Amino acid sequence: LQWNGWFSRAQVEALGWVIRIPVGDAPHLGNINWLQLSFNGGWIEIDKITRIVVPNAAPVALCKNVTVAADANCTADAYIDNGSYDQDGDVITIVQSPAGPYALGPTLVTLTVTDSKGASSSCQSTVTVVDNTPPALNVSVVKPMLWPPNHEMVKAITYTTSDNCSDVEVSMIVDVDDELGGDGDTTVDAQLGDGVVLLRAERSGKGSGRIYTVTLTATDAAGNYTTVAAGPVEVQHDSRK
């Protein structure tokens, strides 16, 4: 029965001796869920209205720790709610502070749950942003043939690096295919510079020439790495090849 402010005797008799009228959210009546009216001898006894007060229960805030991968800006969004709810079934709003996106590493986040009557509760969890993206490493052989074999260091390879979260360190391994070795007195045949690899234009005059193969590895602060092999770079026995 939906209350519109009036009840007939027939309505009261049909429902029995006592009826309870749900009033819902009625600010002028206070925190009241029901009005109870008694029927006595064919009359509704208005003076016997009973107010039944049910207190509002605060919502329940539930949190969880979250680990997420960093994006291209080295930040990430995350949601720590773990099924927060309202005990009375009221509509709730959920707010995280700070709101994110979150920086690399751990961040303590507070989640606050508020129901439609203004009651609230909070919990805290940790959002951890990790860097698991390897750096970018682009390598180009700019001089695949070194000539003349004058023992000079020549810019043979260039490279660029980038990473979403940190600086990048580059290391190098050089494989030299030259069965007779060089015909000079040099000992260092490859150097790693800033964005460049220098190789020595040298080979044995008695052999078939020299072939360099260079492997570069870029590593970021989190230990992620990318490896690229470049080559071959040749030092011919003579210019006719």
Residue 119: the pLDDT is 97
Residue 88: the pLDDT is 93
Q: For residue 193, which amino acid is it?
A: G
- Those residues whose C-beta lies under 8 Å from the C-beta of residue 31, and which sit 6 or more positions away, are 53, 54, 55, 56
From the centroid of its chain, how far is CA 197? 36
Residue 207: the pLDDT is 73
- Those residues whose C-beta lies under 8 Å from the C-beta of residue 211, and which sit 6 or more positions away, are 176, 177, 178, 231, 232, 233, 234, 235
Q: Judge contact between 235 and 204, C-beta under 8 A.
A: no
Q: Judge contact between 56 and 88, C-beta under 8 A.
A: yes
* Dihedral sign (CA 109, 78, 74, 100): negative
Q: What is the CA radius of gyration of the chain?
A: 39
Q: Judge contact between 99 and 75, C-beta under 8 A.
A: no
Q: What is the pLDDT along the chain (241 residues), one digit of tens a residue?
A: 344 444 454 554 555 444 444 444 444 444 444 445 555 554 444 434 445 567 899 999 999 999 999 999 999 999 999 999 999 999 999 999 999 999 999 999 999 999 999 999 999 999 999 999 999 999 999 999 999 999 999 999 999 999 999 999 999 999 998 754 555 556 789 999 999 999 999 987 777 889 999 999 999 999 999 999 999 999 987 765 4
